Amino acid sequence: MNILDGKILAAKIREELAAAVEEIKAEGGKIPHLAAVLVGEDPASQVYVRNKVRSCEKIGFKSTLIRRPADVSEDELLGIVEELNQDEDIDGFIVQLPLPEHIDENRVTLAIQPGKDVDGFHPVNFGRMAQGLPAYIPATPNGILEMLKRYEIETAGKEVVVVGRSNIVGMPMGILMALKAYPGNATVTICHSRTRDLAEHTRRADIVIAAIGRPNFITADMLKEGVVIVDVGINRVDDEDAPRGYRLVGDVDFDSAATKASWITPVPGGVGQLTVVSLLMNTLKASRGEVY
Ligand SMILES: NC(=O)C1=CN([C@@H]2O[C@H](COP(=O)(O)OP(=O)(O)OC[C@H]3O[C@@H](n4cnc5c(N)ncnc54)[C@H](OP(=O)(O)O)[C@@H]3O)[C@@H](O)[C@H]2O)C=CC1
Ligand SMILES: Nc1nc(=O)c2c([nH]1)NC[C@@H]1CN(c3ccc(C(=O)N[C@@H](CCC(=O)O)C(=O)O)cc3)C=[N+]21
């Protein structure tokens, strides 16, 4: 069993991004600038946004964090999005999800100018991605592609089973793995809560990508010998012995799955690390005008 190490890879990519910033500075070019909008006090969202801002600082990007309380009106939020769309110094921005109940996430996502949508959540980016055209690819799927590429995991002709079909992870991941590209060219099955016999599908898989949101859900008996496992899940489980009273586990039961896997991502220290750097990679592309 080998570890697909997100932490080491993310550090390496951050070094590459920092070198790119140095080059931009030497040429007197514009420093990439990412903005993030955080609504409310959701503890996980605060951790993620903090990680994003901290990563910007580490590599020399500019970052702006805009915070509003959970009772912010939809109109005020749409006004902030419009300001960020117009602000010429900002190359890309994200609105952290989930948003409070009273705000229509689709409406907010649609308001983001596709050229600044470094999350790749706007339907224009999603559509372009699905057609294999230049687009911002959502950070988590993009990070997974980067991980498969850098570890030289073969995907052509492989059976890939994606568990989960959310707009931000499962569905784009399935599409990307089916595209005529590397990593891609796979035969893809997308499973979800209405799948009749999940284990029947996962047992056939050469590569399992789990994005479910249920702790330790995938176990060794559901897997084939030699499978590659990408565990997207980030679940907090109570643990009195842990410093914060909880610890993070994936959607895959790591110890059990490790007995079958040829490669496996840990949680934490796996996909989540790359999610953050791939957002920065998208921001660099935005500032260079490489996508639009
Ligand atoms: N590492 C990272 O960077 C990131 C991690 N995450 C984590 O990944 C996980 C998934 O996130 P996200 O995609 O946003 O979650 P969603 O809740 O939006 O989607 C979960 C998906 O899993 C499916 N599902 C739920 N229960 C089952 C089941 N018993 N059998 C099969 N499928 C099931 C759902 O099916 P249905 O559609 O039918 O409801 C749905 O498609 C979470 O733990 C989240 O915290 C998320 C984003 C980034
Ligand atoms: N507009 C928007 N864009 C997103 O990209 C987005 C979002 N909303 N909402 C929620 C999900 C989740 N997500 C993660 C980001 C960082 C880690 C991360 O840093 N993980 C660390 C550990 C984090 C910790 O210690 O809690 C790791 O896995 O090693 C994880 C998950 C981005 N998402």
Report the complex ipTM: 0.96
Instruction: Indicate the pTM of the whole model.
Output: 0.97
* Token pair of 290 as six digits: 């490489």
CATH fold label, 139-271: Rossmann fold (3.40.50)
Ligand nearest to the CA of 222: 1
Alpha-carbon 36 to chain mean position: 15
- At 109 the pLDDT is 98
Q: CA 160, CA 10: separation in Å to the nearest integer? A: 24
Joined together, the tokens standing for residue 35 give 């903005």
pLDDT reported for residue 94? 98
**H or E segment and range at residue 67:** strand 62-68
Q: State how far the Cα of 268 lies from the Cα of 247, in Å rounded to an integer.
A: 9
**Predicted local distance difference test score (pLDDT) of residue 270:** 98
CA-nearest residue, atom 1 of ligand 2: 96
Cβ atoms of residues 227 and 260 within 8 Å: yes
Q: Output the known binding site.
A: 164-166, 234
Whether the Cβ atoms of residue 69 and residue 40 lie closer than 8 Å to each other: yes
- CA 164 – ligand 1 centroid, Å: 5
Return d(Cα 292, Cα 288) in angstroms, integer: 9
* C-alpha to C-alpha distance for 119 and 109, rounded to whole angstroms: 10
**Tens digits of pLDDT across the chain (292 residues):** 999 999 999 999 999 999 999 999 999 999 999 999 999 999 999 999 999 999 999 999 999 999 999 999 999 999 999 999 999 999 999 999 999 999 999 999 999 999 999 999 999 999 999 999 999 999 999 999 999 999 999 999 999 999 999 999 999 999 999 999 999 999 999 999 999 999 999 999 999 999 999 999 999 999 999 999 999 999 999 999 999 999 999 999 999 999 999 999 999 999 999 999 999 999 999 999 999 9
State the CB neighbour count (10 A cutoff) for residue 226.
Answer: 10
For the chain, give every domain's residue range: 29-113, 139-271
Residue 25 has what pLDDT? 95
- The answer to whether 119 is a known catalytic residue is yes
Distance separating alpha carbons of residues 128 and 150, to the nearest angstrom: 24
Q: What is the pLDDT of residue 253?
A: 98
Q: Which ligand places an atom closest to the C-alpha of 6?
A: 2
Q: What is the DSSP letter of 138?
A: P
Give the whole-angstrom CA distance, residue 263 versus residue 260: 9
Pocket of ligand 2 (CB under 6 A): 47-48, 51, 94-97, 119, 139, 234, 248, 267-270, 272-273, 275-276
CATH number of 29-113: 3.40.50.10860
Instruction: Based on the residue annotation, tell me whether 52 is a catalytic residue of this protein.
Output: yes
Residues 275, 11 contacting (CB under 8 angstroms): no
Place of tokens 């901290």: 54
Give phi and psi for 265, each to the nearest 5: -90, 135
pLDDT number for residue 102: 98
